[in-house]
Structure formats: C-alpha cells, structure tokens
C-alpha cells in the first residue's frame, strides 16, 4: 500500500464522521446495506471499533478488555460519541510503535499495520453504507478506494469464507473502481 495506513484510516474515519454529522433525528432508524443494521447500529459499530483500537494497539487482549464496549455506546448524543471515539482511535494509530506492535485479536495475533488496514477498510466501506442509508453523496475518496482495493484483493476470500461479507456482486466490465470495490465487499451500487 503506497499510502500511509494511519493517514488512510484517519481519512476514512473523517469521511464517515462527516456523514454522521448529516444524520437527521428521524434517520437513526433507517435501514442500511448492512444486514440487520439500521443507521444507529452502524454508527454504534464504528464507535465500538474505535473504542477497541486504543486498547488493542496498546497491547491489551480481547479478554482483558472484556465486555467494556458491549451494547449501546451512542447514548443521547451519537455524534459526540462518534467524534470522541474516532479521535481517540486516530491518536492511538499514530502513537509510537503502533504499526509494529502485536495486536491480539479474537482470531489471533496480527501486526498493528494489518489491524489498522482492516479498520481503515471497514470505515471506508461503511462510509458508503451510511451514505446510502441517509441519502447523501456516496462517492468515496478515489485514493482510499484504490488503497483498499489493493489490500482487499488478497483478503477478500478469507473475509467471504468467514461470513463477514456477502457474495461478490456482478458488475459490468466498464464499472469504475469504487463500484468494483463495493462489489467485492458484496455491495451493489448504482
């Protein structure tokens, strides 16, 4: 990946956050392209991931963190909850040694750089999901789309086998990079 993954992660969270700030009070219950998730659940998912990031990047294990981030993390102010969690996650990503530290995930240990890449990809794809749900512009940053596609080409099959993503969607041969990436993640755009 030619882009600094920490910067890519920050930019993806920023883009998601811009969409969070556009969610109207009557939109939190709208369905998203993510099966069984409404807008509130989708934002809660990103807050959850963002709260886990500082803990895991600091070397803590899933068992040590336990159920600290279970349930509704949005409370009465979902926008503030997201902004605060995303800020802390980005700070942790840029901390000394974050890229090379061993991160203890539920399925095994990975380098910090791989963990941040997974977080980046998730934030990027969910930015499109949130855009679809609330009806705002769904164009993603082309540089981030390319970076994600390059990485995901090697990870797609393991994601699909673990049931994290849906079937690869069919796209026309002339589809743009964003459409092809979304299709790889099981999304149908356009």
* pLDDT for 160: 86
* pLDDT for 27: 98
Q: Which of 19, 4, 76, 87 has its CA nearest to residue 51?
A: 87
* pLDDT for 96: 96
Would residue 190 count as lying in a domain? no
Instruction: Provide the CATH number for the domain around residue 63.
Output: 1.20.120.450
Would residue 80 count as lying in a domain? yes
* pLDDT for 190: 60
Q: What is the 3-state secondary structure (H, E, C) of the chain?
A: CCCCHHHHHHHHHHHHHHHHCCCCHHHCCCECCCCCCEHHHHHHHHHHHHHHHHHHHCCCCHHHHCCCCCCCCCCCCHHHHHHHHHHHHHHHHCCCCCCCCEEEECCEEEEHHHHHHHHHHHHHHHHHHHHHHHCCCCCCCHHHHHHHHHHHHHHHHHHHHCCCCCCCCCCCCCCCHHHHHHHHCCCCCC
> Could you give the number of structural domains in the chain?
1
* pLDDT for 173: 87
Range of the domain at 176: 5-184
Per-residue confidence of the chain (190 residues) as pLDDT tens digits? 479 999 999 999 999 999 999 999 999 999 999 878 999 999 999 999 999 999 999 999 999 999 999 999 999 999 999 999 999 999 999 999 999 999 999 889 999 999 999 999 999 999 999 999 999 988 999 999 999 999 998 888 888 888 888 888 889 989 999 999 999 998 887 6
Would residue 55 count as lying in a domain? yes
**9-25 core/surface letters (b: 16 or more CB in 10 A; e: else):** bbbbbebbbebbeebee
**Phi, psi dihedrals of residue 169, rounded to the nearest 5°:** -80, 145
- Rounded to the nearest 10 degrees, how much is the dihedral formed by the CA atoms of 89, 86, 29, 41? 0
């Amino acid at each position: 990946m030619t882009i600094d993954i920490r910067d890519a992660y920050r930019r993806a969270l920023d883009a998601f956050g811009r969409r969070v700030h556009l969610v109207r009070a009557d939109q939190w219950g709208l369905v998203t392209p993510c099966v069984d998730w409404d807008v509130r659940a989708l934002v809660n998912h990103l807050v959850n991931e963002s709260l886990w990031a500082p803990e895991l990047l600091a070397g803590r294990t899933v068992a040590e963190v336990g159920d600290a981030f279970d349930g509704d993390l949005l409370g009465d102010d979902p926008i503030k909850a997201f902004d605060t969690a995303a800020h802390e996650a980005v700070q942790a990503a840029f901390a000394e040694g974050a890229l090379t530290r061993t991160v203890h995930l539920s399925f095994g240990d990975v380098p910090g750089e791989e963990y941040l890449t997974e977080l980046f990809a998730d934030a990027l794809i969910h930015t499109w999901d949130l855009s679809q749900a609330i009806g705002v512009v769904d164009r993603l940053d082309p540089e981030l789309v390319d970076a994600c596609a390059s990485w995901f080409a090697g990870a797609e099959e393991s994601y699909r086998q673990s049931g994290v993503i849906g079937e690869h969607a069919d796209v026309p041969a002339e589809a743009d990079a964003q459409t092809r990436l979304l299709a790889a993640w099981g999304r149908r755009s356009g």
